[in-house]
Amino acid sequence: MIRLVKRAGLFLASVMLCATNAYAASGNSVDLLSYIPADTPYVFVSTEPLPSKVADKLEPTIDEILQVYQRILRHLMAEQLVKMAGEENSAEEAEQFRGVMEEVLGLVSLEGIRGAGIERASAFALYGNSLLPVLRFELSDDDLFDAAIERIEKKAGEDLLIGVANGESYKYTDTEQVRLIIATVDDQAIITAVPVQFSEPQIAEALGLKKPRASLKSSKALKSMAKEYGFSDYMTGFINNQRIAEIFTGKATEKDKQLLAAFSEQPPELSETCSAEIMEMVGIAPRMVFGYSDINTRGLKSSFIVELRKDIAKSLATIPAPVPGLGTDPGGLMSIGFGLNPLALRSFYEAQLDAMEADPYECESFADLQAGVAKGREALNQPVPPVVYSFRGMVANITDLQSMDFASNITPESIDASILIAVENAEALIMMAAMMDPQIAALNLLPDGKARKLELEQLAEFAGMAYAALSTNALSVSLGASAEKKSADMLLASAPDPAPFMSMSMDSARYYAMVGETMAKQPTAEGEEEIPPAIRAAMAELMTLSGSLYDRMFLDVRFTERGVEIGANMTLSD
């Protein structure tokens, strides 16, 4: 037990130190890139500090969030101590556990983080040494970080083991197959994992004591990617899907082979055909990239892009359809919508089936996928009502909800919301609906954009006012305050060009507070362990605090010539 406590405490402390500092970076840290192999399968790195005014704005709430985490950890500690009290000869072990946890808790605050040598300007990088992760971050003072680890060791009653590589010492603990390592070198902390069989030179390479001949700094790959996508140095990275696939399809580097051999693992035996087809499949989405394009006191802008093969990206770009209001933030509690051209979607799907028929997969691993071509043809041959191909998308704006209880599935007492359905020849859709429902026929909706009052019993319970309006290509329905004006205005909303596939916006503080309230009240599902009230309350508070960092969040998904681009714009609270 004590060995487990020691390991958990040491590495929980280290990870906490890094994770809670993940919004900071150093102004003199580009050299971090010189430690990262150019062929790393993945990297997440920050080499520029946040503007001081932004950090000043974020830190008070982040410290509150850390305090809530402290409460959760203290509750879990108390539960564990109660369990240990019932075990024979556990008094000493319980005292050691308490001591370790108290040291860890002391680090779960901005003051504790700073006291361990991690400053606001500390840069960091998470990257792959082949597949194994390496976490590297800057320290203001090696001694402060070492002292924090030593305090935990002392309370655990047992020191970590000491190893040496290239003349530098490091601390470690071994599991059955993996050696977990903590090292401090040249005002940097390094946390990584290597196979227990790794030699001193291999460990030196993992720790960056022996820098790679080709690094991200020398290759300029990260800089080139940032320039292409407009990313800043605040935070950026990528996941190289092709590089990962190569490890298992006969193109592993010597380092990859050493790693697999150390774990007594070998890539599956693949035929040349399977290897080629797997790489062809991965080539559809060879890389994912992400980064922040701007950070200032007003907000944060970031993007996540799934890069696609050019022909796939070009075909996907035809699918989104313009929908009034989609891609804009109307304010209020939440807005969500999407736009698509069903005929373009059908054409895209048909093109993929055509390609698989013209050049079928021969690898047995893709047998089910290839067999799906016939089923896909059958699905496409099924009759589809013309109205389906007329559909273009929808947008729902929720301005306000009153007295809604998500946890108990209680509908709101009142709702202020609007919905728009985009469809070619919307009048024909209404005429069809009127034939089936006399109430709709009585509305006498015309494609003139004028709002008409809805007298529907189904809406009377939670909407004092309800109006609908019709244009040649959309139907809108609004409930609640100013419903008449809103239903007409929705039809006149702009539609950005090029059109997004999907967009969403929200009032962050209110939305997360509602989610937190739901978490606090959510009944425990049958067969699940009951969550203590104190933990529920803390989790609800975490949601509320997290939401309070931002005023509004906006996200859109676009299909471009580069691939699937997900953009986020988060406005900081005052």
pLDDT tens-digit series, residues 404-431 = 555 555 555 678 899 999 999 888 878 8
| Per-residue burial over 411-424, b = 16 or more CB atoms within 10 Å of its CB, e = otherwise | ebebbbbbbbbbbb
CB 512 within 8 A of CB 506: no
| pLDDT tens, per residue, the chain with 574 residues | 444 444 444 444 444 444 444 444 444 455 899 999 999 999 999 988 889 999 999 999 999 999 999 999 999 888 888 888 877 767 888 888 888 888 888 888 999 999 999 988 889 999 999 999 999 999 999 999 999 999 988 888 888 999 999 999 999 999 888 999 999 998 899 999 999 989 999 999 999 998 998 999 999 889 899 999 999 989 999 999 999 999 999 888 888 888 888 887 777 788 999 999 999 999 999 999 999 999 999 999 999 999 999 999 999 999 999 999 999 999 999 999 999 999 999 999 999 999 999 999 999 999 999 999 999 999 999 988 888 899 999 999 999 876 555 555 555 567 889 999 999 988 887 887 777 777 777 777 888 999 988 776 666 555 568 899 999 999 999 988 888 999 999 999 998 889 999 999 999 999 998 888 888 777 777 777 788 888 888 999 999 999 999 999 999 999 999 999 999 999 999 8
CB 50 within 8 A of CB 234: yes
The type of residue at 5 is: V
CB 481 within 8 A of CB 432: no
At residue 10, the pLDDT reads 45
Question: Please, is 212 exposed, middle or buried when counting C-beta atoms within 10 Å of its C-beta (0-12, 13-18, 19+)?
Answer: buried
- Quick one: how far is CA 350 from the chain centroid? 31
Vertex 89: Cα angle to 85 and 91 (nearest 5) = 50
The alpha-helical segments, DSSP class H, found in 248-340 are 254-262, 272-282, 310-316
CB 269 within 8 A of CB 530: no
- Cα–Cα distance for residue pair 496/224, rounded to 1 Å: 29
At residue 206, the pLDDT reads 93
At residue 85, the pLDDT reads 81
> Which residues make Cβ contacts (< 8 Å) with residue 458, sequence separation at least 6?
none
CB 422 within 8 A of CB 454: no
At residue 416, the pLDDT reads 87
At residue 412, the pLDDT reads 59
- Cα–Cα distance for residue pair 174/171, rounded to 1 Å: 10
Q: pLDDT of 250-309, one tens digit each?
A: 888 888 888 888 887 777 788 999 999 999 999 999 999 999 999 999 999 999 999 999
Supply φ then ψ for residue 371, to 5 degrees.
Answer: -65, -25
> Which residues make Cβ contacts (< 8 Å) with residue 57, sequence separation at least 6?
297, 572
- Cα–Cα distance for residue pair 286/541, rounded to 1 Å: 40
For residue 23, what are the CA distances in angstroms to 150, 300, 459, 495, 553?
26, 12, 46, 35, 18
Q: At what angle do helices 142-156 and 91-107 cross, to 10 degrees?
A: 160
